[in-house]
Amino acid sequence: MPSDVIKIITDRNILPILYDLGEFYIYNKILNEEYEQLLVFAYKILKYSTKERLSKNENDFINSFYIIKKIVLTLHRQQIKFLNYIL
C-alpha cells in the first residue's frame, strides 16, 4: 500500500471521520488513490445542497449514499435558516 494512503487512513483526525461516515465508497476511493473522484463527489454534495429542487438522477445519487443524504439535508436546512434570518 502506498505511503500516502497509509498516512491518510491512519491519520488521527481523518480516521474518526471515515469511521463516522460509514461509507465504504469514500474509504475505497482513498485506498485506490482516486482523489479526483473524491473531489467530484464533494463538488456534487455541495452543489446539490444548494438546489431547491433536484432532478431524478440527482435524487437517485443522493439516496444511494446515506451520508450524502444526511449532509445535503443538513446543509439545505442551514441555508434555509440563514435565509430566514437575513430576510
Number of structural domains found in the chain: 2
Minimum mean pLDDT range among 5-14, 33-42, 76-85: 76-85
Say if residue 52 is in the same domain as residue 22. no
Same-domain pairing of 49 and 25: no
Q: Is 87 helix (H, G, I), strand (E, B) or coil?
A: coil
User: Is there a single domain that holds both residue 29 and residue 67?
Assistant: no
Q: Domain of 8? A: 1-33
**Domain identity same for 87 and 47:** yes
Q: Same structural domain for residues 55 and 81?
A: yes
What b/e sequence results for 15-39 when a residue is b if at least 16 CB atoms lie within 10 Å of its CB, and e otherwise? eeebeebeeeebeebbeeeeeeeee
If asked whether residues 57 and 16 sit together in one domain, one would say no
11-70 pLDDT per residue, tens? 888 777 777 666 677 888 888 999 998 888 888 878 887 888 889 988 888 777 766 666
Task: Supply the pTM of this predicted model.
Answer: 0.58
Q: Which residues contact 72 (CB under 8 A, 6 or more apart)?
A: 45, 48, 49, 62
- 29 and 8, same structural domain? yes
Q: Is residue 57 domain-shared with residue 80, that is, in the same domain?
A: yes
Region class of 33: left (phi > 0), else alpha (psi between -120 and 50), else beta: left
